[in-house]
Amino acid sequence: MTGVDAGGGTATIVIDGRDVPVSLLALDGVPSIGDWAVAHQGYVLEVLRPDEAAAVLAARAGLDAWREPEEEGS
């Protein structure tokens, strides 16, 4: 989270380097700036613990590496 407006029920998250506004209406409680979250279709569905966020980032990095085309001549 890069910004949270608890009174308005919204937050700003960063996805692929872009600031994206999201709704907090699906959450119990209010996340803090710096929290990692799972968001879908404009809603934050879950706030992640730091170890969960690290695991998700590692899995995504593995998928990104798998998707990259092989170098020619390899």
pTM over 0.75: no
Per-residue model confidence (pLDDT) at position 16: 83
Exposure on the CB side of residue 27, measured as CA atoms within 13 A = 23
Question: For the residues of 1-58, what is the DSSP string, one character each?
Answer: --EEETTTTEEEEEETTEEEEEE-TTSSS---TT-EEEEETTEEEEEEPHHHHHHHHH
One-letter identity of residue 37: A
**pLDDT tens-digit map of 50-61:** 999 999 889 988
Per-residue model confidence (pLDDT) at position 71: 59
**pLDDT tens-digit map of 4-55:** 887 789 999 998 889 999 999 999 888 989 899 999 999 999 999 999 999 9
Looking at domain 3-67, does it have CATH number 2.70.98.60? no
Domain positions in the chain? 3-67
